[in-house]
Structures are given as C-alpha cells and as structure tokens.
Amino acid sequence: MDTLLYLVGFGLLFFFIFGSETLISIYREKQQMQHIENIIATLPENDRVQFAREYLDERATQLKKTENPFYGFESEYEK
C-alpha cells in the first residue's frame, strides 16, 4: 500500500511540475482571447470588422512562421 502511495505521489509531483506549465499557458491564452473579445465588443461596427481582419491576418502570419521558420524568405528557385 505504501508503494502505491509513493507512486501516486510521484505521479502527482511530475504532473504538477511538467503539466502546470501547459495549464498556465492554456489559462493565459484564454485570458488573452477574452481580453481581445472585450476590445472587439467595445469598438464600433466598422472598426470591429477592420480590427478582426487585421488580428486574424497577423495571427495567421504568426502561425505560418511557427510552422515554417523560413516563411517569408525567397528561395533561389522562386527567383
């Protein structure tokens, strides 16, 4: 029984050490999205559409850069 408690304890310890970073990043991402939604909600309709387009374009570019570190560089074959 003591061995089981040790294993559960070590499992929880590893979860909180390594899993907490992921949980914190997910929580921060949700907070950031709520903040952006609040900003969008307070804008007039025309500004809201423009802000949403610019934000989505910027976010898509960031994701492309994350997936491909050479995004935006011209290759020798394209010239």
**What are the tens digits of pLDDT across the range 11-35?**
888 877 777 777 788 889 899 889 9
Model pLDDT, residue 24: 81
pLDDT tens-digit series, residues 40-79: 888 888 888 888 889 889 988 888 877 776 666 665 555 5
Model pLDDT, residue 71: 64
In the chain, what is the straight-line distance between the N-terminal and C-terminal CA atoms, in Å? Answer: 69
Q: How many domains does the chain have?
A: 1
Would you say residue 73 lies in a domain? no
Model pLDDT, residue 31: 94
Would you say residue 19 lies in a domain? yes
Would you say residue 34 lies in a domain? yes
Would you say residue 76 lies in a domain? no
Would you say residue 79 lies in a domain? no
Among 47, 51, 46, CA closest to 36: 51
Q: Which domain holds residue 7?
A: 2-67
Separation CA 9–CA 16 (nearest Å): 11
